[in-house]
Amino acid sequence: MRNIFMLYMPPLNPEAMVHYRETIRQKVAFGRIVPFIDSSLNRHLREVFGERHIAVWGSRNTPMNRGRFDRMEEGDEILIVEGDIIRLLGKIAGKTVSRELSQELWHNLRPGHHDTWELIYFIANPREINLPFRSFNELLGYEPEFRLHGFSSVAEDKLKHFYSRYDDLYEILMGLTQGRTIERVREPLPPSEIEQPTEAADVEAESLPAPDPGCVSDHLQMQWTLLKLGKQGGERVWAPRSDQTRITSAFQFSDFEPTLAAGLDTQVRYVENIDVVWKEEFRIDAAFEIENSTAIYSGLLRLSDLTMVAPNSLYPLFIVAPGERKNRVREQLIRPTFRNLHIAEKVLFLSYEKVREIDDFFGEGPAGPTPDILSAKAEKLSA
């Protein structure tokens, strides 16, 4: 259960607006931070952000603020609220206490004042959303007119209330800005309630020849291609641990995310066995199930489990398969198990041919595709 921290900024406060522009919107070059942090935090921030600039914010070191700051952990949610509008949403990537770094980043603009904001936190995946704060109040069970003061956090009882019904505050608030309907979490169906394939055609026992153990399978080739494209596009990439050794052996590729779990919530165990995952800082950007000669049913079932425990996720879900198997995917999507979950509305079909076309376009250059590019090349199979 992630903590949710909130920072209130008075509307049109000149000093706060300047600081917000300089260290949130414009972010801070890593080189300005390094002299003021220890080697452990230095290493951690490099793992999360690479060489990208970092959004940074701070609070005054009062006893009340310090108590909340000490409870702050990697992956916790942070909101910056101006007046009655949520301006920023992000994830805590790390923290430090440093008067010197505060003085480096934030100068007092009022003559005679010497305030510092030395409880400093580094923010991953910052998004400006400009959402009315009352939307947050409704989700967390506050009164509609509840107002913030200073640096605060959501009480444990309200956190439990929220997480008993919903999956991910970040995705929900992003969804609300897009006018999406918010869904409640459901438990994945137990095997006894899942419609099982019964016919040979359903499980696709198509008498395919057994693969030569010495050959690289089309599935592994496509897995590596998607991993490579993700890295070219600036993503952190993940494949199931059981596949990583084979990918490294076949393609000398080992640049996997060390752990998928960093900053993610309860859906981790439903994502870590998906064939390829693209991730940016603490957010998943795309998930791919590759179906070559195996049953499409099994890949869709993994994606359906994910949509039940994380129904408000905004990242695209892809079934990747040879173009001639598109109709087989469509046939599986009309099964009651998937139809009742509206999986066809959430999953895109991306053919091998389109992936190869994208790979040919980007080649071995320094740039790569974004998830939006792949979504534009994919097809929706819903009626």
Cα distances from 67 to residues 62, 106, 152, 155, in angstroms, run 9, 22, 10, 13
Residue 301 has pLDDT above 70, yes or no: yes
Most confident of the following: 166-180, 216-230, 263-277: 216-230
The region of weakest confidence among 123-127, 335-339, 352-356 is 335-339
User: pTM score, two decimals?
Assistant: 0.81
Domain extents in the chain: 4-177, 193-380
Residue 209 has pLDDT above 50, yes or no: no
Residue 77 has pLDDT above 50, yes or no: yes
Q: What is the pLDDT of residue 207?
A: 39
* Average of per-residue pLDDT across 240-264: 86
CATH number for the region 4-177 comes to: 3.10.590.10
